[in-house]
């Protein structure tokens, strides 16, 4: 029996939208044990006591056989089959394979989301906390876009505060030319900052000078403001080279200095008019929070704090984007800051303040270069590239001539290793970075995903079979085939769960299992020298597996390789 729902599906493909936020596969089963081993994570129980998986599909027994229907917002369609081997769950999975719904059955989230991520500081190393924020935020952004959301990716760079007065002191002490800083801004600015910080510990006058410089910056009267802007622009240029290697882009760059005292005077006035901002005896201006806590917004010398500027930034973002959600992807250690931020916004009687969320993550411990030096992300990425290149030279599975190509492949493999090593962890959990585990070619790593994708791509290019337009489940009845069909069909449900929890590890774990089942199927489901019909049906299954793997890797922020 051949399933033929494609013509109906194609007729309204442009209008396809799942009808609810928990789309996936639904079916009735004779017992819970029937699918508990193959689909344990998705077993649920409806009100009438029947086991089911989500709500988008339902199954009815009719005279002509089993009827599988998909609920849609604008239309319904169904197919009927009689005498096809397998339980109803498997029938639904074959239907998903046939119609391409493994890429379409995720929840539709028509919402505007602003996501503030990365946020490195000028003159300080792009450390691993910024890396986590960058790649977790990139995953969340990609996932929302895949599910139909409109995303604004914001990189909010720290270029303000008393420490930047100290940086200027360090630059005045150094012999760095403008051209030198332009060529290597992050490292030289950091060295200038460290030099001034060490000198200020023995000379209080330098600290006073730093505060004086920052106050002039706040007031807009700093004489070398153009030079300061150049340093910031040089830094962004270097950061963009790093982001390009990570496959990360931003829609907007914001500077903390956009919200200096002069620019946010109206915000402070608004807080005072509402009676939220209180003047202390020492000249500070504070906000009273719950639990008898107070948050300072203006220091006694009149300069603002990071919290003050974050309030102004949130108001600016809502005025510009009218977001449905505003997500801050920032480490656990900043929880008190965001509690104060959101508490203050709610006191301002802003209804949209409820839409703000702090997406927390844990810290990476033990992250340094193998030589133990200070962690600049560029150094880490260079080292992973070089180590992956060495491993490729040593591996018998390498299929490309590494001597005749650039380091692009090794760089992509190194970046994949770093990203997957991070995203396979629970988001809020601290973890210890292990170079050997992260860069190994075997096991659950980024290399595993890349290798499986390359293998599937090579199969499609060289097997000699034609990709069919219809799925014949009677041909795909080997245990390895059935398990892989079901796993492919789970993709939409996995994306929904990843979205609900904002957890990349859910998707990463799924892709590892997909790779395992694909590699098991490789051993049994031969394509070359097989009957053309059987070969084409097996090719459809492997093609579907590759498409899911490719989509999943893209959402995680990886660039799938076709050869390695």
| 340 touches 328 (CB < 8 A) | no
**How far is the C-alpha of 250 from the C-alpha of 426, rounded, in Å?**
25
* Active site (annotated) includes residue 124: yes
Listing DSSP states for 268-324 in one string gives: HHHHHHTT-EEE-TTS-EEEE-STT-EEEEE-TTS-B-HHHHHHHHHHHHHHHH--S
| 256 touches 306 (CB < 8 A) | yes
Report the candidate in 539, 557, 544, 519 with the shortest Cα–Cα distance to residue 103.
544
Q: Which residues contact 431 (CB under 8 A, 6 or more apart)?
A: 362, 364, 365, 425
Chain length of the chain:
564
**Catalytic one of 104, 112, 127, 150:** 127
* Active site (annotated) includes residue 533: no
**Catalytic one of 130, 424, 497, 543:** 130
Residue with tokens 């802007």: 229
**How far is the C-alpha of 72 from the C-alpha of 75, rounded, in Å?**
5
Query: Phi and psi at residue 103, in whole multiples of 5°?
Result: -100, -10
* Active site (annotated) includes residue 130: yes
Report the candidate in 338, 330, 337 with the shortest Cα–Cα distance to residue 363.
330
Q: Where are the alpha helices (DSSP H) in 289-426?
A: 306-321, 335-347, 377-394, 408-423
Collapsed DSSP state (helix, strand, coil) of residue 356: strand
Collapsed DSSP state (helix, strand, coil) of residue 51: strand
**How far is the C-alpha of 142 from the C-alpha of 148, rounded, in Å?**
10
Query: 48 burial class (0-12, 13-18, 19+ CB within 10 angstroms)?
Result: exposed
548, 550, 551, 555: CA torsion to nearest 10:
130
Q: Give the tokens for residue 391.
A: 């491993």
Listing DSSP states for 244-267 in one string gives: HHHT---SEEEEGGGG-TTTTHHH
Read off the DSSP letter of residue 3. Answer: B
Exposure class string for 77-93: b at 16+ Cβ within 10 A, else e = ebbebeebebbbbbbbb
Q: Which residues contact 160 (CB under 8 A, 6 or more apart)?
A: 217, 255, 256, 257, 260, 309
Read off the DSSP letter of residue 332. Answer: G
| 153 touches 252 (CB < 8 A) | yes
Residue with tokens 């597996």: 545
Report the candidate in 287, 327, 351 with the shortest Cα–Cα distance to residue 133.
327
**Catalytic one of 21, 28, 72, 124:** 124
* Positions marked catalytic: 124, 127, 130
């Amino acid at each position: 029996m051949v399933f033929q729902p494609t013509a109906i599906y194609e007729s309204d493909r442009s209008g396809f939208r799942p009808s609810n936020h928990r789309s996936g596969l639904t079916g009735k089963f004779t017992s819970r044990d029937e699918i508990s081993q193959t689909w344990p994570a998705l077993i649920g129980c409806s009100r009438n006591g029947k086991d089911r998986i989500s709500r988008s599909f339902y199954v009815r027994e009719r005279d002509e056989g089993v009827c599988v229907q998909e609920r849609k917002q604008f239309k319904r369609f169904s197919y009927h089959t009689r005498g096809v081997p397998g339980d109803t769950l498997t029938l639904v999975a074959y239907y998903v394979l046939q119609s391409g719904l493994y890429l379409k059955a995720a929840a539709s989230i028509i919402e505007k989301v602003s996501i503030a991520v990365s946020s490195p500081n000028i003159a300080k190393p792009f450390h691993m906390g910024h890396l986590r924020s960058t790649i977790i935020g990139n995953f969340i952004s990609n996932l929302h876009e895949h599910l139909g959301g409109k995303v604004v990716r914001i990189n909010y760079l720290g270029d303000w505060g008393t420490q930047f007065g100290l940086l200027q002191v360090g630059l005045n002490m150094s012999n760095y030319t403008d051209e030198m800083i332009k060529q290597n801004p992050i490292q030289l600015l950091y060295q200038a900052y460290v030099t001034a910080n060490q000198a200020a510990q023995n000379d209080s006058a330098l600290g006073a000078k730093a505060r004086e410089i920052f106050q002039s910056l706040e007031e807009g009267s700093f004489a070398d403001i153009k030079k300061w802007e150049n340093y910031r622009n040089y830094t962004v240029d270097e950061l963009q080279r790093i982001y390009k290697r990570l496959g990360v882009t931003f829609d907007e760059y914001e500077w903390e200095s956009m919200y200096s005292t002069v620019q946010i005077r109206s915000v402070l006035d608004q807080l005072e008019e509402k009676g939220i901002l209180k003047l202390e005896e020492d000249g500070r201006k504070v906000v009273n929070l719950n639990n008898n806590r107070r948050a300072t917004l203006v220091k006694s010398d009149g300069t603002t704090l990071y919290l003050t500027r974050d309030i102004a930034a949130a108001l600016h973002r809502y005025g510009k984007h009218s977001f449905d959600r505003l997500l801050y992807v920032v480490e656990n250690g900043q929880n008190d800051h965001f509690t104060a931020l959101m508490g203050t916004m709610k006191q301002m009687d802003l209804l949209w303040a409820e839409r703000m969320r702090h997406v927390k993550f844990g810290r990476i411990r033990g992250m340094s270069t193998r030589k133990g030096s200070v962690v600049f992300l560029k150094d880490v990425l260079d080292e992973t590239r070089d180590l992956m290149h060495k491993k490729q030279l040593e591996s018998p599975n390498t299929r490309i001539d590494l001597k005749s190509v650039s380091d692009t492949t090794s760089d992509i493999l190194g970046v994949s290793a770093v990203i997957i090593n991070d995203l396979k962890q629970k988001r809020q959990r601290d973890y210890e970075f292990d170079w050997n585990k992260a860069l190994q070619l075997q096991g659950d790593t980024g290399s595993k995903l890349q290798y499986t994708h390359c293998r599937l791509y090579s199969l499609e290019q060289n097997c000699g079979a034609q990709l069919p337009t219809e799925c014949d489940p009677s041909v795909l009845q080997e245990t390895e085939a059935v398990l892989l069909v079901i796993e492919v069909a789970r993709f939409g449900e996995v994306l929904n769960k990843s979205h609900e929890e904002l957890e990349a590890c859910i998707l990463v774990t799924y892709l590892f299992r997909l790779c395992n089942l694909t590699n098991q199927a490789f051993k049994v489901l031969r394509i070359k020298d097989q009957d053309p019909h059987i070969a084409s049906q097996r090719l459809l299954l492997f093609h579907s597996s590759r498409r899911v793997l490719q989509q999943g890797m893209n959402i995680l922020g990886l660039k799938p390789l076709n050869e390695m």
